[in-house]
Chains A and B, each alone.
Chain A
Amino acid sequence: MERNNRKAWLYLLPALILLGAFLVYPLIDVLIYSFEEGFNFASQTYFGVGLYNYRYVLRDPYFLQALKNTFLLVLITVPVSTALALLISLGLSSIRPLRQLYQTIYFLPYVTNTLAVGLVFMVLFQKTEYTDGLVNLMLSWFGSGPVDFIDGPYWAKLFVLCFYTVWVVLPFKILVLTSALASVNQDYYKAARVDGTSRLRTFTRITLPMISPMIVYLVITGFIGAFKAYSDAVALFGTDLNAAGMNTIVGYVYDMLYGASGGYPSYASAAAILLFLIVLTITCINLMASRRQLQG
């Protein structure tokens, strides 16, 4: 027993060393940075230790804007994309002909490069001097005026960002959910049919509980993914996200380090730690809620 234990640790050692070097150490380092006040990158010196960096970040309007953007993005895209994916997966698993084809089509966005997709979205949504963009063209058929989705009002920009994010995360969710649906034993449905279960009740009382572990998984990874959003915003609105008012928390961290106004690793660290705390809290709440639901 004791021997086996030691052997197990030995086998785990390489992975643990790598994890320690590239994950735990940087994490601790970031934590330390975030408490060092007035850190000077060139001289590697600082004045004192305290909460000043946090206070600064939490008062920074750019950070607050990024926080708001990120939260809105998360709250909109996670439920919408999960529900949409569920709907499409249900549709996919109820058709027989052409199912493979549809599955392939739905999976295409997943293998397409983010920035390339962003470019396509620009073409769809952007208003230039020559054209109003495809979406505006369609809007005009319904008699509504052109909206500048890339450089216009906040809600329009947020809409494009959410639309884009949902579109990008959808394939993976569909993939996971169709295989989850396919793995439900058909006998449950047969039993339900013999008992005269309505379709809605079959869905809520049998299908949903059966695939709920996968839904929980998708919601949690969805939350984490959306909180870490950055490249999507860049693909749509360019690198100066603060100016566009469409920055995200990760974008803020990046800007604090390398952006035009960058060079503040302490602020970046504080922002990163805040993001970490938010994600941790939400994941814990998620897990607890789903566990309670599974038991109840």
Chain B
Amino acid sequence: MEIRVEHLTKRFYDRGRRQTTTAVSDLTLTAPDGALMGLLGPSGCGKSTTLNMICGLEKPDEGRIFFGGEDVTDLPPEVRGVGMVFQNYALYPHLTVLQNILFPLENLKGAARPSREEMVRRARETAALVEIEALLDRRPRELSGGQQQRVAIARALVKRPRVLLLDEPLSNLDARLRLQTREEICRIQRETGITTLFVTHDQEEAMSISHRIAVMREGLLMQEGAPQQVYDDPACLFVARFLGTPPINVFSGEVRRGALLLDGRAVLEVPEAADGPVWAGIRPEGFLPRPDGPLRCALSRVEVLGRDVSMVCTHPACENGSLRAIVPSRREAEASGGAFALRPDKVFLFDREREIRIPFRAARA
């Protein structure tokens, strides 16, 4: 079931004052049928609010929400057919795992309500899907964080919802479990084929499992697309900064007659870019160590972390003084002495004022 929101806006009135906070503003977004979509952004950018509006807990001030072709904006949550997993799981502590999973089914009324045996059968089937059959008689507090997470997913799925919504599903888990549960969510989504929207502020998490990502900032949608595409083609400085570890290196530079100047020196041909001051973002993998390269930095140190060799250098035009380049080998790093050539496809130019992307025709270096 495709999820589509159009011009969604939500304002909150600040307590006692007449001012409003616009949590989500004019958001238009589509999660294709059967996709796993990541909603990404820094804390407070309106991700949870968006999710709450889609599941019906929060009423939008403007805009419509569609599931498939159906307008669900004015429907209450229970008839929308959504499954929701909360950040802290919200499992009922006094009920067993089985009772928790049964709970949504027991709410059904009339013809939709299955027989008791059918309910238990479906609960067990869902428990099997998330691999918690052995834990059905335990209570939530007797489970690990990862197990609680699975129970929460099972409870959300047992009613066979049309869409699954997850609010920061991994943020309460430790690093290892997070990696494992991430795969798990991916697998469950693949097996059920349910359209899933999940919220996170961890870009790596979103990049690794989503089919599509949407990056938000202060209630506004900044960019939407396939993860790799957004990474390779960021629409603005914010998105370029938000995606990628280690983060992109930002320089204040200038374009003059088709060349990018950093600290007064031309470092790259940028044909068709207009003259003027710019922000230049260079991905860590965009630096090629060359002893005769045009970008001359002072090498501070070479770090070897597992398979990655990174060079930490300083350059006067670099925004926070030091930059980090990922290079193929230590030998090359030391031979270059801190001089680089640049890969044009890893260099992005942004307007200095508005921070939006300035395109240029990339010639191979």
A44: Cβ under 8 A from any B Cβ? no
Per-position binary interface string of chain A over residues 174-218, scored 1 when its CB falls under 8 Å from any chain B CB and 0 otherwise: 000000000001011011011111100100011001100000000
Binds A, one of B75-83, B198-206, B218-226, B323-331: B75-83
A210 touches B104 (CB 8 A): no
A194 touches B107 (CB 8 A): no
Nearest to A210 among chain B residues (CB) is: B94
Q: Which residues from 104 to 151 on chain A have a C-beta closer than 8 Å to any C-beta of chain B?
A: none
Contact partner of A190 (CB less than 8 A), chosen from B86, B107, B108, B159, is B86
A195–B56 alpha-carbon span in the complex (Å): 11
Report the minimum CB–CB distance from A150 to chain B (whole Å): 46
A190 touches B94 (CB 8 A): no
Contact partner of A196 (CB less than 8 A), chosen from B77, B90, B92, B93, is B77
Apart from the given pairs A185-B88, A197-B107, 19 other A-B contacts in the complex at a CB distance below 8 Å = A185-B90, A187-B86, A187-B87, A187-B90, A188-B92, A190-B86, A194-B55, A194-B83, A195-B159, A196-B76, A196-B77, A196-B78, A197-B103, A198-B107, A205-B92, A205-B103, A209-B92, A210-B94, A294-B94
B57: Cβ under 8 A from any A Cβ? yes
> Could you list which residues of chain A lie within 8 angstroms of chain B, going by C-beta atoms?
185, 187-188, 190-191, 193-198, 201, 205-206, 209-210, 294
A22–B311 alpha-carbon span in the complex (Å): 77
A209–B99 alpha-carbon span in the complex (Å): 14
Interface centre among B83, B87, B94 (most CB of A within 10 A): B94
Report the minimum CB–CB distance from A172 to chain B (whole Å): 25
Count residues of B near A (Cβ-Cβ below 8 Å): 24
Q: Which residues from 66 to 106 on chain B have a C-beta closer than 8 Å to any C-beta of chain A?
A: 76-79, 82-84, 86-88, 90, 92-94, 103-104, 106
- 30 A-B pairs in the complex with CB atoms less than 8 angstroms apart: A187-B86, A187-B88, A188-B90, A188-B92, A190-B90, A191-B84, A191-B155, A193-B57, A194-B56, A194-B57, A194-B77, A194-B78, A194-B83, A194-B84, A195-B78, A195-B104, A195-B107, A195-B159, A196-B79, A196-B104, A196-B108, A197-B103, A197-B107, A198-B107, A201-B106, A201-B107, A205-B92, A209-B92, A210-B93, A210-B94
A294–B92 alpha-carbon span in the complex (Å): 13
Chain B residue numbers with a CB within 8 Å of A187 are: 86-88, 90
> Could you list which residues of chain B lie within 8 angstroms of chain A, going by C-beta atoms?
55-57, 76-79, 82-84, 86-88, 90, 92-94, 103-104, 106-108, 155, 159
A197–B108 alpha-carbon span in the complex (Å): 8
A185–B87 alpha-carbon span in the complex (Å): 12
B77 touches A206 (CB 8 A): no
A191–B103 alpha-carbon span in the complex (Å): 10
Report the minimum CB–CB distance from B110 to chain A (whole Å): 12
A191–B83 alpha-carbon span in the complex (Å): 9
Chain B residue numbers with a CB within 8 Å of A209 are: 92, 94
Chain A residue numbers with a CB within 8 Å of B55 are: 194
Report the minimum CB–CB distance from A98 to chain B (whole Å): 14
Report the minimum CB–CB distance from B109 to chain A (whole Å): 8
A187–B93 alpha-carbon span in the complex (Å): 12
Chain A residue numbers with a CB within 8 Å of B90 are: 185, 187-188, 190-191
B159 touches A191 (CB 8 A): no
A195 touches B103 (CB 8 A): yes
A46–B57 alpha-carbon span in the complex (Å): 76
Known: A187-B90, A190-B90. A196 touches B107 (CB 8 A): yes
The 7 closest A-B pairs by CB, nearest first: A196-B78, A187-B90, A195-B104, A191-B90, A209-B94, A194-B84, A194-B77
Report the minimum CB–CB distance from A187 to chain B (whole Å): 4
Report the minimum CB–CB distance from A194 to chain B (whole Å): 5
A205–B93 alpha-carbon span in the complex (Å): 11
A94–B324 alpha-carbon span in the complex (Å): 54
A198–B93 alpha-carbon span in the complex (Å): 19
Chain B residue numbers with a CB within 8 Å of A210 are: 93-94
A278–B56 alpha-carbon span in the complex (Å): 53
A185–B82 alpha-carbon span in the complex (Å): 21
Known: A185-B88, A187-B88, A198-B107. A193 touches B78 (CB 8 A): yes
A154–B357 alpha-carbon span in the complex (Å): 89
Interface centre among A195, A205, A206 (most CB of B within 10 A): A195
A191–B85 alpha-carbon span in the complex (Å): 8
